[in-house]
């Protein structure tokens, strides 16, 4: 399990190693066709800042070679904001005396129909808070069943599950799981997640192993930028994690995301650090040079300007026209959002811009594995 591997990697020493990288280390990494985590640290380090343009060109080249001129489009749907956790940065935390919504089957279907009117989305991400008693695996399974007539690629972002539960959901059409570790700094993790199942660091970090063991086709990872001051170290830990998973669960596809926290309107939490646009670009280029095959995803958390700019330089997956409140597309617009999106353009507007940039928006991923799943 990855928790045991992580014990062997010292946070402070990793931070020190990143900040002691030199110009020569960066040039060596740029000259390699296959980088290891040590090279990634060099590309992520302040020493690589003067090489941003070179990194951008390399990132563009590798992305074109592997993904062509495409952008995979997806849309998230929050089906509940009911949550038993206490993440200090989230407005959905259990102590917030807000009204909770768990969409009924009829409401879920109404959301699906409303989404299909926005654009020809085929990639759906179902999102929940974490309340296994009220919106657990049977509820998620039903939402997946109901989605099959409308969408061909179904992912979830829900509480970490056990192997059997992931397996069960694959029988309901589940194709991918996204789970953000939030941070790999174990001691600080407990400060941000003081209560509930999410406070169990090892359970969460080992969830990725369980996804792999269950044969989940696609696994998405991410750290929440804004929690740890040393975001370079956090992302390096994710790179170690990615390599670990790729070795063990080599049939699985991986994606990464670097969500940047903004001053929270709902949870009242102020980020400990702000990653600027240039740093986000550097991280994205470094990840692409480190791993030519990993999907790099930008959500509507990011402003339109940077999403458009990065669309040809390394990003391969984007959400569009997202609502972050349950039932936000049809049943309950204007309720409490989990976070406010920055890119508020419609999916059609985003698609038009991508086309003008020479990128083809792809609404459906043609996954062979998905041919075996029958619609209900
Ligand atoms: S981040 Fe997720 S788990 Fe944490 S309080 Fe918000 S909805 Fe719940």
86-99: per-residue pLDDT in tens? 999 998 899 888 88
Contact 337, 295 (CB under 8 A): no
Q: Is the CB of 198 under 6 A from ligand 1?
A: yes
CA dihedral over 19, 25, 31, 37, signed as positive or negative: negative
Partnered with residue 75 across adjacent β-strands are 124
For atom 4 of ligand 1, the residue with the nearest CA is 87
Task: Determine the pLDDT at residue 268.
Answer: 74
Query: Which one-letter DSSP state was computed for residue 88?
Result: T
Q: What is the mean pLDDT of residues 305-329?
A: 96
* Residue 189 neighbours by CB distance under 10 Å: 20
Helix residue spans in 291-330 (DSSP H): 304-310
Distance CA 184, CA 205 (A): 8
What number does the ligand 1 atom closest to the CA of 86 have? 5
Instruction: Please name which of 56, 69, 38, 57 lies closest in space to residue 283, comparing C-alpha atoms.
Output: 56
Q: pTM value?
A: 0.94
| Residue-wise pLDDT tens digits, 234-291 | 999 999 999 999 999 999 999 999 999 977 555 578 899 999 999 999 999 999 999 9
Q: Is the pLDDT of residue 371 over 60?
A: no
Contact 351, 320 (CB under 8 A): yes
What number does the ligand 1 atom closest to the CA of 182 have? 1
Task: Determine the pLDDT at residue 373.
Answer: 45
Spacing of C-alpha 72 from chain mean position: 14
Task: Determine the pLDDT at residue 374.
Answer: 42
Task: Determine the pLDDT at residue 341.
Answer: 86
Q: Is the CB of 253 under 6 A from ligand 1?
A: no
**367 phi and psi angles, rounded to 5 deg:** -85, 125
For atom 5 of ligand 1, the residue with the nearest CA is 93
What number does the ligand 1 atom closest to the CA of 93 have? 5
Q: Is the pLDDT of residue 43 over 60?
A: yes
Helix residue spans in the chain (DSSP H): 2-7, 11-19, 23-30, 37-44, 52-67, 105-118, 137-147, 163-170, 186-192, 201-205, 207-213, 231-248, 277-290, 304-310, 347-356
Contact 232, 275 (CB under 8 A): no
User: In the numeric block, which tokens belong to residue 96?
Assistant: 């917030």
State whether residue 138 is helix, strand or coil.
Answer: helix
Pocket test for ligand 1, best of 79, 87, 157, 335 (most atoms within 8 A of CB): 87
Q: Is the CB of 130 under 6 A from ligand 1?
A: yes
Q: Is the CB of 129 under 6 A from ligand 1?
A: yes
Q: Is the pLDDT of residue 223 over 70?
A: yes
* Residue 36 neighbours by CB distance under 10 Å: 12
| Average pLDDT over the chain, rounded to an integer | 94
Q: Is the CB of 204 under 6 A from ligand 1?
A: no
Directed axis angle between helix 231-248 and helix 37-44, to 10°?
Answer: 150
Q: Is the CB of 85 under 6 A from ligand 1?
A: yes
pLDDT band of residue 44 (cuts 50, 70, 90) is very high
Task: Determine the pLDDT at residue 334.
Answer: 65
* Residue 4 neighbours by CB distance under 10 Å: 9
Cα(279) to centroid(ligand 1), Å: 26
Cα(114) to centroid(ligand 1), Å: 25
Q: Is the CB of 83 under 6 A from ligand 1?
A: yes
Q: Is the CB of 87 under 6 A from ligand 1?
A: yes
Task: Determine the pLDDT at residue 370.
Answer: 46
Q: What is the mean pLDDT of residues 128-142?
A: 96
369 contact partners, CB below 8 Å, separation of at least 6: 175, 217
Query: Which one-letter DSSP state was computed for residue 95?
Result: T
Contact 328, 285 (CB under 8 A): no
Task: Determine the pLDDT at residue 102.
Answer: 95
Task: Determine the pLDDT at residue 169.
Answer: 98
What number does the ligand 1 atom closest to the CA of 89 have? 1
What number does the ligand 1 atom closest to the CA of 159 have? 3
How wide is the angle at C-alpha 215 spanned by C-alphas 213 and 220, nearest 5°? 95
Cα(137) to centroid(ligand 1), Å: 17
Distance CA 73, CA 78 (A): 17
Q: Is the pLDDT of residue 369 over 50?
A: no
Q: What is the mean pLDDT of residues 139-158?
A: 97
Task: Determine the pLDDT at residue 368.
Answer: 46
Give me the count of residues in the chain: 376
What number does the ligand 1 atom closest to the CA of 129 have? 7
Query: CA torsion, points 171, 175, 180, 185, in degrees to nearest 10?
Result: 80
Q: What is the mean pLDDT of residues 109-137?
A: 97
Task: Determine the pLDDT at residue 366.
Answer: 60
């Amino acid at each position: 399990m990855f928790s045991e591997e992580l014990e062997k990697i010292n946070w402070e020493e990793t931070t020190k190693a990143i900040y002691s990288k030199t110009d020569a280390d960066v040039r060596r990494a740029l000259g390699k066709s296959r980088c290891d985590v040590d090279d990634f640290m060099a590309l992520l380090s302040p020493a690589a800042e003067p090489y941003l343009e070179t990194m951008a060109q390399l990132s563009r080249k590798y992305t074109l070679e592997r993904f062509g001129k495409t952008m995979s489009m997806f849309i998230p749907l929050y089906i509940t904001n009911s949550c038993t956790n206490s993440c200090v940065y989230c407005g959905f935390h259990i102590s917030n005396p807000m009204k909770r919504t768990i969409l009924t089957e009829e409401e879920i279907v109404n959301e699906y129909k409303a989404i299909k009117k926005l654009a020809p989305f085929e990639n759906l991400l179902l999102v929940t808070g974490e309340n296994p008693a009220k919106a657990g695996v049977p509820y998620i399974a039903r939402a997946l069943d109901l989605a099959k007539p409308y969408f061909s690629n179904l992912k979830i972002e829900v509480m970490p599950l056990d192997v059997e539960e992931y397996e069960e959901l694959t029988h309901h059409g589940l194709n991918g799981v996204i789970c953000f570790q939030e941070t790999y700094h174990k001691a600080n993790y407990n400060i941000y997640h003081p209560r509930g199942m999410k406070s169990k660091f090892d359970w969460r970090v080992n969830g990725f192993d369980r996804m792999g063991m269950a044969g989940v086709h696609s696994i998405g990872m991410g750290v929440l930028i804004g929690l740890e001051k040393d975001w370079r170290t956090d992302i390096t830990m994710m790179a170690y994690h990615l390599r670990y998973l790729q070795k063990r669960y080599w049939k699985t596809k991986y994606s990464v995301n670097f969500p940047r926290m903004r001053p929270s309107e709902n949870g009242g939490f102020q980020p400990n650090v702000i990653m600027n646009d240039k740093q986000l670009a550097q991280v994205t280029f470094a990840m692409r040079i480190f791993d030519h095959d990993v999907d790099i995803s930008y959500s509507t958390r990011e402003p339109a300007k940077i999403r458009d700019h990065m669309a040809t330089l390394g990003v391969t997956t984007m959400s569009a026209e997202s609502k972050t409140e349950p039932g936000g597309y049809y049943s309950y617009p204007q309720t409490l959002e989990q976070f406010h999106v920055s890119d508020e353009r419609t999916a059609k507007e985003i698609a038009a811009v991508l086309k003008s940039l020479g990128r083809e928006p792809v609404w459906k991923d043609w996954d062979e594995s998905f041919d075996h799943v029958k619609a209900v």
